[in-house]
Every structure is written in structure tokens, then in C-alpha cells.
Amino acid sequence: MSVAKSLRSLPASSKHAYDYVIVGGGSAGCVMANRLSSNPNVRVALLETGLDDNTPLIRNPSGFFWTVPYSTTYNHRYSTTPQEHCNGRSLFQPRGRGIGGSSAINAMVYIRGLKYDFTNLWAGEGKCKGWEWENILPIFKKLECNDSLTNDPYHGTEGPLHVRTQAHIGPYSERIVKAGNELGWKSTKDFNGEDQSGVGYYQYTQTKGGRCSSGVAFLTPEVRARSNLDIFVDAHATKILTEGKRATGVNVVVSDSSDAANPVTFEARNDVILCGGAFNSPQLLLLSGIGPKDQLAKHGIDVVHELQGVGQNLQDHADICVNAKTWSISMPLQIGLTNLPNQIKHFFLGVFKDEGVFMGDNQMVGSFFKSRPDIPANDIQMHVAPFYYKDHGATLRYGGGITIKSCYMRPESRGTVLLKSTNPMDAPLIDPKYYDVPADFDPMVAAVRKSIELIKTKALAEDKLVVSGFDDKDVDNLTDSDIVEYLRQNTESIYHPVSTCKMGPASDPMAVVDHSNGLRVHGMEGLRVIDASVMPTVVSGNTNAPTMVIAQKAYNQMIGQDRVVDVTDDAAGL
């Protein structure tokens, strides 16, 4: 496979001209590099601040347990500002650093979101016409290569993004599904079909026992070999260059360099395309004088273009973990000598069949449901792991247990991404403002109660699971105040930040990019933002697959091949 070039191979202060310069080699950036370079008549540069993805830590699914909690090489390891409603704690915000971006270190769960997200929230009331579910579903299918849901109207089998069903589901995971049935959840084989609701097993972006990140899917050896595509790693963009209201290129330095005096310049004849994600794209815009006037003035940055929405509207899925411990069960990911035969079995499954827990069969059970019956769509996503872990996987308990992670998918709280300083090497100030709207507590309280109910079901009774983390409180008689305090002390992020450069019509004063013109920045020429930051609202589920779809649709718009179905009001249901 062709290895990406390091920026170190280019002389300082040198200039290089391309038709398109893509900043960020993550979930969206890899899609854009693939699609734009498919035209041999244009030259494309892809710039990634991290390294290439040719390492077992990235390619092997089990690398997740290192790259998320520990790695500094493949993870930016950001943190939030102290969160007022989380007892002043700064919460961990992992972000992928390398080709594939966060899709190279995430848990690989393949979820699209709800029709409600796209039709009612994104496109509703004429806000982002053309982004209705009927227009988005064909793109999901075009990108997908599903290994089991074939001949299915909701799935594709010929796309570059491989989606895999777990080959080995353990008996304890099957019991967790039965426990969900006791709570009234129907069993489902597909969270991305006609009805997301129910309990079942997640599908994963994996292929042949390995991770199928955006880099793996879209930057194949054949794509990397294109003579008109240059991929540079170790390349940190410090500023968007402009002439008047037109972006002309970017300045870039080696990632570990503190000297920005002699940057390498990448000139863009057509477009500079920001694909840095919800944290880095607004940061680079602000550093370049594009954003709210008061924020730029605060740091003495000359205003190139005043745009109020840059760095505003941050949304993320707050996550709460409920753990239960026991000594009576033995699963492939449990820690202990009694589980050694299971571990050996799965080691050989990985070596000889590309299967087993070390190849991504993590036995995870999922569920989607409503926190209360009178709301229009699911608002809680649950992950149930048949092993005990905390602190983003940094803490694993010796012995048995289960972990139930729940997130509220439709938060009302809105945060910000602002500049810490004018030094482009500094991390941005990330303030999600979790629970800033007090109503966001209510669905999370319901999720904690449902987690405890699941642990107490007859299907799991024989394991004598003991709920931990509530001190000496009786978990069967917790008050709402008890649970709110638990949430304040234990809430974390499940890593779905979006919406800091949201798309929308020019009439929306907080819209940063145009939803109908390839996500071009309002009021600028030659500048686009194409990544998760353009979502008007966070989707109901994981954000990786929708981000790739955003990139594909933006590309379709850029080349005039965005086929839009005219969706009438009668079709805009859930």
C-alpha cells in the first residue's frame, strides 16, 4: 500500500498548488479525497495532522481499548472546560488523530439515525430542503457493503464501507436481549431499518476481522496510487489564506512544530475544504479571522469575514454508565484465570478465522427506546457490555460484571468551541454545557432507572449482579435527586460532537454553510466545511456513518449530481 508522505519531506516556506486542498483526513476528509481525485483532471491534496493508519493499533478492532483511553499518537485527547452542571469536572473528549480520524479509533458501531432527524429536524420548516430521509437513505445504501442484510430495501451491498454482523454472540449477550424483552423491548436484527426501536446486536464497520475506518474504505491502495492525489500526514494547518472574501490556500506546519514562521503553503485553485470535525474546523476558521466579531477581537485577530455561527451550537451526547459486578459469570472479555479457556478460544478464532472478541466480536447488546411515551421518536440509546469497565475503558474489573451506557440523543443544551489563544497548536476551548438546559436531566434519569431495571430482570437474576457506584443508597429506592447527583458526578461524553458550523439558509443568522451548494461557507468563495460540524442537530445515534454521507452528498452537490426527491408535507412523517 502506498504510504502517505510526511510534511517533513517538503522544504519550509515552499509553495504547492492544487485544485482542491482538504484539511483533515477523517471520516469526511477521506471520502472527499476519494471522490474529488476520481477526476484525473484535478489535483487534490489531503492534509492530516496525525500519522498514517498502517498500524495494528488502528487496523485491529481491539486497539480501541488502547487508542481511546491512553494513546497520544492517534488521539488528540481533548478535554472540556470545567462543566458547571457536572460538579465542575473537565470531561474527556477523545478525537482521532491520523488517517481515518475518529473512525480510526471509535467503537465502530454502525448507526444512521432516524428518519425523524433528517426529515423533521434538519429539513423541517424549509430549513435544509433536500436533506430529508428520502434523499439521505439512497446515499447510506450507496456507501454501504453489508455482509448479512442483503436484498434489503434499507441496505446496500456494493459500497466501500463494510458493515459486519458479529460472528460469535455469547450466551450471556443472548440473556441480556431476553432481559430487554422482559422490559417490553422487542427483539430486532436491524437498528437501521424501518423501525429503530428494540433490543438486539449492533453491526460494526469492519471487514475481514479488521476495522473499516473511512481511511480503509475510501483510501484503498488503488486510490492512494492515483497520480493526482497527494496525502500528507504530520501536517498541521495553521491558517486559511484569503484574498478579500475568497480562500486561496492554507499555511501548514509539521505537527510537533512550535515555529509557524516558515510554513509550507498549499494553494487551492478551486476550494479549501475543511474536514477537521466539530472542534478543529471552527478553530481554524476563527484563527483565520472568520467567525463572531467579538471572539476575534478578544484575541486581536483581524476580521476577514464576520460569521456569528462559527463555534456556536455545539451539541454532544452526554453518556451515563451504570455498572454491576458479580463473581458468577465468565465471558470472553472478563478478566480472571477462570476465563482463560475462553480467552484462548477467542485468540485462535482471531488467528485462524478473523473472528472472536479480539477481532471485534465484543458481544455488545444495544437498545433504542423512548424515555417517555408522549415524545415523537426514540431519545435514548443504550449499550450493554457483558463485562465491567469504567473511565472510557481505562478501568477493567478483575472478575465478572456488566456495563450499561446510556445517552440522551436529543439534548437541548448548546455549547461552544472557542479559541484558547492565537497559537494554532493549542487545543480549542470546548464547552458542551452539558445539562445547561435542566430538562436534559429528565431523560437521563429515566435511562438510569431503566438500566437498574434491566440488571434486576429474571433473565439476569442467577448472576446476583450488584449495582455499584451509588455508595450506600438503596438502588431500588433512589429518588430523582439521588440520580441527578449521580449524573452530575459520573456523566461523560460518548464522543458525538457536532453542529459548530451548522448548515442552513443564509436567512439563518447562525448558519455557517449553505446546505444546497456543497456546504460552501456563507459569504465566502473557495471555502467549504464538510464534516460533522455542519449537522443542524445531532442525529439519534452514532455520528460516524452520517458524517460520511454528508461528505458524499456535498460532493454530489459540487459536481451537479445531487438527485433530490421532492418530499411533500404528507411524506414528512417519522
Question: What DSSP letter does each residue of 134-184 carry, written as one string?
Answer: HHHHHHHHHHEEESS--S-TT--BSSSEEEEE-S---HHHHHHHHHHHHTT
Q: What's the rounded mean pLDDT across residues 429-442?
A: 98
Element (H, E) at 22: strand 15-23
Q: What is d(CA 107, CA 63) in angstroms, rounded to the nearest whole number?
A: 10
All structural domains of the chain with their residue ranges: 5-55+217-314+498-568, 167-201+318-408+436-490
For the cut 80, the answer to whether the pLDDT of residue 351 exceeds it is no
Per-residue pLDDT at 570: 42
Q: What's the rounded mean pLDDT across residues 553-565?
A: 95
Which range is most confident: 255-259, 366-370, 565-569?
Answer: 366-370
What pLDDT digit, counting tens, does each position of 132-161 carry? 999 999 999 999 999 999 999 999 999 999
Per-residue pLDDT at 444: 98
Mean pLDDT taken over the chain: 92
**Of the candidates 205, 147, 271, which has an alpha carbon nearest to the alpha carbon of residue 524?**
271
Q: What's the rounded mean pLDDT across residues 403-427?
A: 97
Q: Determine which one of 76, 317, 392, 496 is catalytic.
A: 496
Is position 236 annotated as part of the catalytic site? no
Q: Is 106 annotated as a binding residue?
A: yes
> If pLDDT is split at 50, 70 and 90, which confidence band does 359 have?
very low
Per-residue pLDDT at 337: 43
Question: Lowest-pLDDT range, 22-31, 85-94, 286-295, 319-328?
Answer: 319-328
Per-residue pLDDT at 574: 39
> If pLDDT is split at 50, 70 and 90, which confidence band does 425 have?
very high
Q: Please enumerate in sequence order all residues whose Cβ is within 8 A of that of 531, keeping only pairs 6 or more positions apart, or say none.
A: 24, 26, 27, 28, 29, 274, 275, 276, 277, 278, 281, 547, 550, 551
CB environment 131-145: b (16+ within 10 A), e (fewer): bbbbbbbebbbebbb
Strand partners, 321: 405
Share of the chain above pLDDT 70, in %: 91
> If pLDDT is split at 50, 70 and 90, which confidence band does 544 have?
very high
Question: Lowest-pLDDT range, 162-176, 490-504, 539-553?
Answer: 162-176
Q: Please enumerate in sequence order all residues whose Cβ is within 8 A of that of 100, keeping only pairs 6 or more positions apart, or say none.
A: 25, 26, 27, 30, 53, 58, 213, 214, 215, 216
For the cut 90, the answer to whether the pLDDT of residue 48 exceeds it is yes
Per-residue pLDDT at 169: 83
Expressed in angstroms, the distance from the first to the final Cα of the chain is 44
What pLDDT digit, counting tens, does each position of 17-38 carry? 999 999 999 999 999 999 999 9
Q: What's the rounded mean pLDDT across residues 184-193?
A: 97
Does residue 223 sit in helix, strand or coil?
A: helix
Q: What's the rounded mean pLDDT across residues 274-289?
A: 98
What pLDDT digit, counting tens, does each position of 468-502 carry? 999 989 999 999 999 999 999 999 999 999 999 99
Q: Is 109 annotated as a binding residue?
A: yes
Q: Span 167-201+318-408+436-490: which CATH code?
A: 3.30.410.40
Q: What is d(CA 465, CA 186) in angstroms, rounded to the nearest whole number?
A: 23
Which range is most confident: 178-187, 207-216, 318-327?
Answer: 178-187
**What is 5-55+217-314+498-568's CATH topology?**
FAD/NAD(P)-binding domain (3.50.50)
Q: What's the rounded mean pLDDT across residues 500-511?
A: 97
> If pLDDT is split at 50, 70 and 90, which confidence band does 403 have?
very high
- Who has greater pLDDT, 337 or 168? 168
Per-residue pLDDT at 249: 98
Per-residue pLDDT at 568: 61
Cβ-contact 313, 508 below 8 angstroms: no
The answer for 362, left when phi > 0, alpha when psi is -120 to 50, beta otherwise, is: alpha
Q: Is 1 annotated as a binding residue?
A: no
